[in-house]
Amino acid sequence: MATYDSNNIFAKILRGEIPCHKVYEDDIALVFMDVMPQSPGHALIVPKAPSRNVLDADPAVLAKILPLVQKIAIASKKAFAADGITVWQLNEPAGGQTVFHLHYHVIPRYDGKPLQSHSGKMEDAAVLKANADKLKAALT
């Protein structure tokens, strides 16, 4: 397996070198909106510790991240009046991964509505900001 490359886009977001629509941050992780949402409100939970994906992650980080994934999933269902939530975590190109810093997708779902394509269309900044604000509000 390839090694971790600290020049990946999420590492740059974590270092503040590239902007994001932030929802939540603590010592463990940063949560922000996916710029190419597969459903409105699609969020990403990104652990701060460097790892490519779940295959090389520290189990201690994994143990701390899942409660946060749950918290965001619950808030997302409420914020976007979703019927369900898809939680995704992809590993290596063969597993569909395109950004090689561990992250979890939290995607609002609606009965009978298919997802938009993965890494498909860039969303307007105003929409991403509005959705980040909705998700933030549902967390409090």
Provide DSSP, 104-130. Answer: EEEEEE-TT-PPPPTT--PPPHHHHHH
H helices then E strands: how many in the chain? 3, 5
CB of 27 to ligand 5GP, least distance (A): 21
103 is catalytic: yes
- Residue 45 or 79: the one with the smaller Cβ distance to ligand 5GP is 45
Tokens in use for 128?
């991403």
List residues near ligand 5GP by CB under 6 A.
9, 20, 32, 34-36, 90, 96-99, 118-119
Minimum distance of ligand 5GP from residue 105's CB (angstroms)? 6
**Closest CA relative to residue 76, chosen from 18, 31, 46, 19:** 31
Q: Which of 21, 42, 101, 103 is catalytic?
A: 103
Tokens of 48: 């701060």
Question: Quick one: 9 or 139, whose CB is closer to ligand 5GP?
Answer: 9
Smallest distance, ligand 5GP to C-beta of residue 88, A? 7
